[in-house]
């Protein structure tokens, strides 16, 4: 976002850039193709919009070209208050006979509403490519019941730093709740060498949605990775989840790699999960324990003897099972089997709406069960 908007002042543009945006002509002095990206609701419950650009490589040939992008987004509800953005790309050396296209992209976030985008890009020779388009962000069907963290008709810069600090939440101190979250921080494909942005966004968004619940006053978080069979992060009874600290700890993961010693032990993954379940559930004073993460398909399930020892726990257990294409793997996984044996509740998270609806149901169960427990122990 360009300086001036955040401070309430006017944005200063070069007169030539301002003229291009104001005239709304489609210019192709610099040959390029601009494809608008329709607003899509992410797992963070924000609408993400933007554009994709292709430019013939031969048009960028030479040494040290620079592409400067200026665009403004105007809400239909506030046409006198556009928000301006800028973006720059430093172009590497490109041969004059280079074939193919360069592919670039940009993004911004919006709330529900109608928006107009005026966009331009220029190179160091002052050649210009420009375009303009309209987009609409709207919740439809069952999604209309969701409460989004970005207000209607709002325009904000996209933020890809998944582990930024969460704003403080005003907690309800009457009958405060404590939860423990066990999150398997792993990609959809367990052998993948890196987390896809959508996977990372989904898992962090599940945590953020829980952290924003005002009735919860204490959080315990255990982040683990089944592939490495390792607990990466553990914090008990926090007033709020420390996302920067969690992100720093998760950066130590070495996805796509397996310790050869563990490969030589065919039951090591089951042993790790069994130990984790026994330790974290057997000694918990939480009002609820919540598992979250992608499916864990192991050859052997957690032994029944271990689960029988947990049969006396007095808190509910939940599983927010993240899987984008549940029809490709409809079978219950190893964590799901644990939750079923403990008479818990499992939810499939494959769309942004699932985060919202499942959490509403989970909170309903937690509050109902705590009230029932308090009634049964209160003196007559």
Question: pTM for this one?
Answer: 0.85
Return the pLDDT at 377. Answer: 60
**pLDDT reported for residue 379:** 57
Mean pLDDT (the chain) is 90
| pLDDT tens per residue, range 329-366 | 999 999 999 999 999 999 999 999 999 999 999 999 99
Q: What is the pLDDT of residues 187-230, one digit of tens each?
A: 988 778 888 889 999 999 999 999 999 999 999 999 999 988 99
Question: Hey, which residues does 33 pair with through a beta bridge?
Answer: 54
The set of residues, in sequence order, having a beta carbon less than 8 Å from that of 157 and lying 6+ positions away, is 1, 85, 108, 109
With 90 as the cut, is the pLDDT of residue 68 above it? yes
- Whole-angstrom distance, CA of residue 126 vs CA of residue 240: 50
pLDDT of amino acid 72: 96
Pick the residue with more confidence: 370 or 322?
322
Instruction: Kindly indicate the confidence band of residue 231, based on its pLDDT and cuts at 50, 70 and 90.
Output: very high
Q: How many angstroms separate the CA atoms of 167 and 373, rounded?
A: 32
Q: Residue ranges per domain, the chain?
A: 15-136, 177-373
Mention the CATH class of domain 177-373.
Answer: alpha beta
User: pLDDT tier at 5 (50, 70, 90 boundaries)?
Assistant: very low
Quote the DSSP letter at residue 103.
Answer: E
Q: CA–CA separation, 184 vs 199, rounded Å? A: 12
**Which pLDDT belongs to residue 317?**
96
Beta strands in 149-244 (DSSP E): 155-157, 177-184, 216-225, 230-238
238-289 pLDDT tens trace: 999 999 999 999 999 888 767 767 666 768 899 999 999 999 998 889 999 9
Pairing relationship of beta strands 345-349 and 317-322 according to DSSP bridges = parallel
CATH class as words, domain 15-136: mainly beta
- DSSP 8-state symbol, 259: -
Which of 7-16, 49-58, 140-149 shows the lowest per-residue confidence on average (mean pLDDT)? 7-16
Count Cβ atoms within 10 A of the Cβ of residue 56 and give its class: 0-12 exposed, 13-18 middle, 19 or more buried.
middle
Give the separation between CA 294 and CA 187, rounded to whole angstroms.
Answer: 7
Classify 7 as helix, strand or coil.
coil
Average pLDDT over residues 312-339: 93
């Amino acid at each position: 976002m360009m300086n001036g908007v955040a401070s309430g002042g006017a944005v200063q543009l070069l007169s030539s850039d301002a003229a291009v945006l104001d005239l709304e002509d489609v210019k192709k002095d610099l040959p390029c193709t601009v494809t608008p990206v329709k607003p899509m609701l992410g797992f963070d419950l924000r609408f993400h919009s933007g554009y994709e650009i292709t430019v013939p490589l031969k048009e960028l040939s030479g040494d040290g070209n620079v592409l400067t992008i200026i665009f403004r987004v105007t809400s239909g509800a506030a046409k006198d208050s556009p928000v301006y953005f800028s973006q720059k790309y430093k172009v590497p050396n490109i041969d004059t006979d280079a074939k193919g296209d360069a592919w670039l992209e940009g993004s911004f976030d919006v709330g529900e509403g109608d928006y107009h985008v005026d966009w331009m890009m220029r190179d160091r020779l002052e050649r210009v490519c420009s375009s303009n388009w309209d987009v609409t962000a709207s919740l439809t069907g069952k999604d209309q019941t969701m409460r989004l963290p970005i207000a209607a008709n709002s325009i904000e810069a996209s933020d890809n730093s998944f582990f930024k600090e969460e704003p403080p939440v005003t907690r309800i101190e009457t009958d405060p709740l404590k939860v423990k979250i066990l999150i398997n921080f792993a990609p959809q494909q367990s052998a993948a060498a890196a987390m896809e942005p959508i996977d990372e966004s989904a898992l962090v968004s599940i945590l953020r949605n829980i952290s924003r619940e005002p009735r919860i006053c204490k959080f315990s978080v255990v982040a683990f990775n089944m592939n490495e069979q390792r607990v990466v992060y553990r914090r008990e009874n926090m007033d709020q989840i420390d996302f920067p600290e969690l992100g720093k700890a998760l950066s130590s993961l070495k996805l796509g790699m397996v310790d050869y010693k563990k490969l030589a032990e065919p039951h090591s993954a089951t042993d790790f999960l069994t130990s984790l379940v026994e330790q974290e559930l057997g000694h918990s004073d939480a009002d609820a324990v919540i598992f979250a993460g992608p499916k864990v398909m192991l050859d052997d399930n957690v032994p029944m003897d271990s689960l029988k020892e947990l049969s006396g726990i007095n808190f509910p257990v939940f599983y927010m099972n993240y899987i984008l294409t549940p029809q490709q793997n409809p079978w219950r996984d190893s964590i799901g089997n644990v939750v079923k044996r403990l008479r818990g509740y499992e939810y499939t998270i494959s769309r942004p709406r699932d985060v919202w609806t499942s959490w509403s149901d989970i909170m309903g169960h937690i509050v109902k069960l705590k009230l029932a427990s308090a009634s049964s122990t209160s003196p007559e």
